[in-house]
């Protein structure tokens, strides 16, 4: 299954950022129990490369593991060496897009404007990440989908159980969720079950929107 179809089938990309290495396995396990299959570790997390490697060893068959906040090819190379199956970027970087395509790696570039959406698509990206939707809102996705409905879009930034249905109904084929799902306070108290419950709730809401 290709990267776009994986997102369309599973809807959620869990964004793991700024957690400690000791917590990466229990967090990933909690996400998996909640039904999430796509997980990205952001490259600006201390020990990100090692965490990606750890996840591959533990969950290589259960989870589709990627690298987020990939800002240059040097980071992309490190991520691939650790076993990353896809890259997520906060911006449109045509060099990273080309590198991903050359290495048969999924690529989800960050876009904001219609110009960036088309730029990323023409560079070879088959799907884009509209960011930050915490500011843009679900109606922005709907407006973009008007002239650009042939380009699948993932909403990232500020997506929560209360508004996830709005984003899906606006045309987003998936969502990226970080802080509202991977609660640092819950991790600090080893309450990983709450992460599982949040994942289940998000998926339940999405299914309601797609019935």
Instruction: Using a pLDDT cut of 70, give the percent of the chain over it.
Output: 100
Give the pLDDT confidence of 58-80 residue by residue, as tens digits. 999 999 999 999 999 999 999 99
Which residue shows structure tokens 């970080």?
Answer: 178
DSSP state letters, the chain: --HHHHHHHH-EEEEE-S--GGGHHHHHHHHHHTT--EEEEETTSTTHHHHHHHHHHHHTTT-EEEEES--SHHHHHHHHHTT--EEE-SS--HHHHHHHHHTT-EEE-EE-SHHHHHHHHHTT-SSEEETTHHHH-HHHHHHHHHHHTTS-EEEESS--TTTHHHHHHTT-SEEEE-TTTS-HHHHHTT-HHHHHHHHHHHHHHHHHHH-
pLDDT surpassing 80 at residue 207: yes
Residue 81: the pLDDT is 97
pLDDT at 211 over 80: no
Give yes or no for residue 6 having a pLDDT over 90: yes
Which position has the token pair 């050359």? 102
CA distance 56 to 82: 8
Q: What is the mean pLDDT of residues 169-197?
A: 96
The reported pLDDT for the residue numbered 1 is 84
209: pLDDT confidence band, cut at 50, 70 and 90? confident
Total structural domains in the chain? 1
Cα–Cα distance for residue pair 55/185, rounded to 1 Å: 22
Active-site amino acid positions: 40, 129
Largest Cα–Cα distance of the chain, in whole Å?
Answer: 47
CATH number at residue 35: 3.20.20.70
């Amino acid at each position: 299954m290709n990267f776009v179809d994986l997102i369309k089938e599973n809807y959620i990309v869990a964004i793991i950022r700024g957690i400690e290495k000791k917590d990466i396995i229990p967090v990933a396990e909690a996400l998996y129990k909640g039904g999430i299959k796509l997980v990205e570790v952001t490259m600006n997390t201390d020990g990100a490369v090692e965490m990606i490697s750890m996840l591959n060893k533990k969950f290589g068959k259960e989870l589709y593991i990627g690298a987020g906040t990939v800002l240059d090819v040097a980071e992309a190379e490190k991520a691939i060496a650790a076993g990353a199956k896809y890259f997520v970027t906060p911006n449109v970087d045509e060099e990273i897009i080309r590198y991903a395509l050359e290495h048969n790696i999924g690529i989800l570039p960050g876009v904001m404007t219609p110009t960036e959406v088309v730029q990323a698509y023409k560079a070879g990206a088959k799907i884009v990440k509209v960011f930050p939707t915490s500011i843009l809102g679900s109606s922005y996705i709907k407006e973009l989908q008007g002239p650009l409905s042939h380009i699948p879009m993932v909403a990232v930034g500020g997506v929560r159980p209360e508004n996830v249905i709005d984003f899906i109904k606006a045309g987003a084929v998936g969502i990226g969720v970080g802080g509202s799902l991977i609660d640092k306070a819950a991790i600090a108290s080893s309450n990983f079950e709450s992460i599982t419950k949040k994942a289940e709730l998000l998926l339940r809401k999405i299914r309601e929107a797609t019935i």
